Amino acid sequence: MLSCRNLTVRPKPKAPALVHGATADFPGGGLHALIGPSGCGKTTLLKGILDILPSEGEILLHGRPLASRDALLREVAFAPQFSIAHGKLTVAEAVGCSLRLYQKINDTALAARSGELLQLVGLAERADTLVEKLSGGQLRRLGLALELTTDPACLLCDEVTSGLDPRSEDQILAVLRALVERGKTVVCVIHNLAKLDQFDTITVVFEGAVVWQGPLAAMLDHFGIADALELYDRLSEQELPHWRERWAAVAVEEGTAAMMEPVASGAGRVAPERPTGLSQLCTLLARRWRLLVRDRGYLLLTLAITFGFPCLVVIFALGGLPQLKGLALETTGGFLETLQARAEYRQSAAETATLVSGLIIFQVILLCLMGSNNGAREIAAERGLYEKERMSGLRPAAYAWSKLIYTALLGAAQGAWMAVFVKLLCEFPGGWGAQLAVLAATGASMSVVCLGLSAMLSSPDKASLLSIYLVGFQLPLSGVVLALPAALVWAVRPFIATYWGWAGYLTAMTESRFYDAVATLDKGWLATPAAAVAVLGAHLLTGAVLVFWGCQKKCWP
């Protein structure tokens, strides 16, 4: 059913090959073992067939060359060593979500199909258990169930029995045999050579090359061993060219290649109809909401900074804002009294200007920190899951839109709440609409920019660190707290969200003494609320471009 011809696989383009000219056949309707010493290229071979890693050579499905790997992925699924599923979902929710992402299915059929899959892998009694509560063997079985949601004709399994106790290993092998009895083709990387008698054929990989394919008895005879456990010792006795030449000679002499020709019995299979992008988007948003309310740690952190950061602003403002009541300048009295009043006014104005400017920039910086928390790990932390779901049929655009909607709305809501809370308690003057728009745009734009960084990187730690650096450089480069050279200010200002949030919020107060106080110290150009929202919108658009670009490129962690 599935074959490769002269397949060479590299970890990245132009890097030295890990698999060299591999040729292998996996007939339809069989359970096939893929074995070899650690590091010999077993998993690499599977990833090369699936185009997870760059490869050169020919892949055949049902005896015919493939025009593209997309045709392969409609019939072949990949079960990694460890189950890729959100730990805060129940087993039934994880399977049901996969079914909705990959198939156009109604609620009745969904319940029936989900129950059937869980029964097949022996997890029916664990349907309501959180994924994070499952044992190692149960996680492997869940992984198989998730891959079967696409109803593949062939399943490639990467060490799904490794590290398990004997009973759990036997349970996994029983599930694989049950799949074969249902007409599936299963290729399984396995380390336990004592279990080879349960497989129909065995493929031996040594130093990045296929050096044997056939049944167990023929393998023992070919390598001159009495027990499969002696295989790796025998392989180490000779160099790779020796085993390749022996295998080539046997294949030609005995016609093994012809014996291993793929079966075309599954060629007429009709793949399930894939749901629309909008349907996938709704499924992803529903899953993200469920994960948000289930993950108590993340939820409490998000609530703490959403409601705690505005409280910090108010705490710093208390005791300072009463100065504003003394800004009125009385012109009555003698000449000396007037001069003294004006001097006091200028001093009070300077102090108030520093206070007002600081409170505004403080709000904006805190919103940038919230944005970093919202977006920095959102994609990078689940990159492996996303890549796996994309292989199975998830549209990159649907995934990107789901993350954009979630982070942008969360950031905008935090910005709006910051504006309302501080404005009410600190009695900042200015238009409600303008100030709400500026702070909401600040929160949304920084959230999406950090989301874009998360989409470009496969490591959540690197994405978080880079986002924190980005926020850290916002304050000094904004030109608000440091006197920067004019050329430097206008070179970096378009990219600094804190400046636009600060200036847009401040200029919404033009009819008040707050603005007059700041204007006495800063005579420079200040962006209007409309200009600030426009530039912050451009930042958001840039972050969105990075998100779509990052989600389109292949980036396995």
Q: What local confidence, expressed as pLDDT, does residue 334 receive?
A: 46
Q: What local confidence, expressed as pLDDT, does residue 535 receive?
A: 95
Q: Which of 132-146, 281-295, 366-380, 512-526 has the lowest mean pLDDT?
A: 512-526
pLDDT for 454 beyond 60 = yes
- The dihedral built from the CA positions of residue 393, 396, 402 and 407, taken in this order, carries a sign that is positive
pLDDT for 425 beyond 80 = yes
Distance CA 332, CA 14 (A): 84
pLDDT for 85 beyond 80 = yes
Name the band, by pLDDT with cuts 50, 70 and 90, for residue 292. Answer: very high
pLDDT higher for 163 or 171?
Answer: 171
The mean per-residue pLDDT over the stretch 416-438 comes to 88
Q: What local confidence, expressed as pLDDT, does residue 501 receive?
A: 92
Name the band, by pLDDT with cuts 50, 70 and 90, for residue 219. Answer: very high
User: Which pair of tokens denotes residue 188?
Assistant: 């399984």
The mean per-residue pLDDT over the stretch 502-531 comes to 75
Q: Name residues whose C-beta falls within 8 Å of residue 91's C-beta, 6 or more positions apart in sequence.
A: 118, 123, 126, 127, 128, 129, 130, 131, 134, 142
pLDDT for 293 beyond 80 = yes
Distance CA 64, CA 212 (A): 23
Name the band, by pLDDT with cuts 50, 70 and 90, for residue 165. Answer: confident
Backbone angles phi, psi at 182, to 5 degrees: -90, 5
pLDDT for 163 beyond 70 = yes
Name the band, by pLDDT with cuts 50, 70 and 90, for residue 517. Answer: low
Q: What is the pLDDT of residues 103-160, one digit of tens each?
A: 899 999 999 999 999 999 999 999 999 999 999 889 999 999 999 999 999 999 998 8
Residues in the chain, total = 557
CB distance 319 to 352 below 8 Å: no
Distance CA 423, CA 317 (A): 11
Name the band, by pLDDT with cuts 50, 70 and 90, for residue 266. Answer: very low
Distance CA 38, CA 40 (A): 6
Q: What local confidence, expressed as pLDDT, does residue 252 receive?
A: 64
Name the band, by pLDDT with cuts 50, 70 and 90, for residue 329. Answer: very low
CB distance 120 to 178 below 8 Å: yes
pLDDT for 513 beyond 70 = no
Name the band, by pLDDT with cuts 50, 70 and 90, for residue 227. Answer: very high
Q: What local confidence, expressed as pLDDT, does residue 394 receive?
A: 94
pLDDT for 70 beyond 60 = yes
Q: What local confidence, expressed as pLDDT, does residue 72 receive?
A: 87
Helix residue ranges per DSSP H, 255-395? 256-259, 277-294, 296-317, 335-375, 383-392
Would you give the distance in Å from CA 439 to the centre of its chain?
A: 27
Q: What local confidence, expressed as pLDDT, does residue 523 receive?
A: 54
Q: Which of 35-44, 56-65, 467-476, 531-540 has the lowest mean pLDDT?
A: 467-476
Q: What is the pLDDT of residues 2-49, one digit of tens each?
A: 999 999 999 888 889 999 999 999 999 999 999 999 989 999 999 999
Would you give the distance in Å from CA 56 to the centre of its chain?
A: 27
When computed from its CA atoms, the radius of gyration of the chain, rounded to whole angstroms, is 32
Q: What local confidence, expressed as pLDDT, does residue 339 receive?
A: 40
pLDDT higher for 253 or 197?
Answer: 197
The mean per-residue pLDDT over the stretch 346-355 comes to 60
pLDDT higher for 309 or 261?
Answer: 309
Dihedral (Cα; 36, 40, 11, 31), 10-degree rounding: -10
Distance CA 546, CA 158 (A): 32
Name the band, by pLDDT with cuts 50, 70 and 90, for residue 424. Answer: confident
For residue 288, count other CB atoms closer than 10 A to its CB. Answer: 16
CB distance 148 to 175 below 8 Å: no
The mean per-residue pLDDT over the stretch 203-231 comes to 94
The mean per-residue pLDDT over the stretch 287-295 comes to 95
Distance CA 232, CA 83 (A): 29
Name the band, by pLDDT with cuts 50, 70 and 90, for residue 66. Answer: confident
pLDDT higher for 458 or 339?
Answer: 458
pLDDT for 203 beyond 90 = yes
Distance CA 33, CA 191 (A): 9
Averaged pLDDT of the chain: 86
pLDDT for 317 beyond 80 = no
Question: Structural domains in the chain?
Answer: 1-74+166-264 (3.40.50.300), 76-151 (no CATH), 281-322+360-552 (no CATH)
pLDDT higher for 477 or 418?
Answer: 418
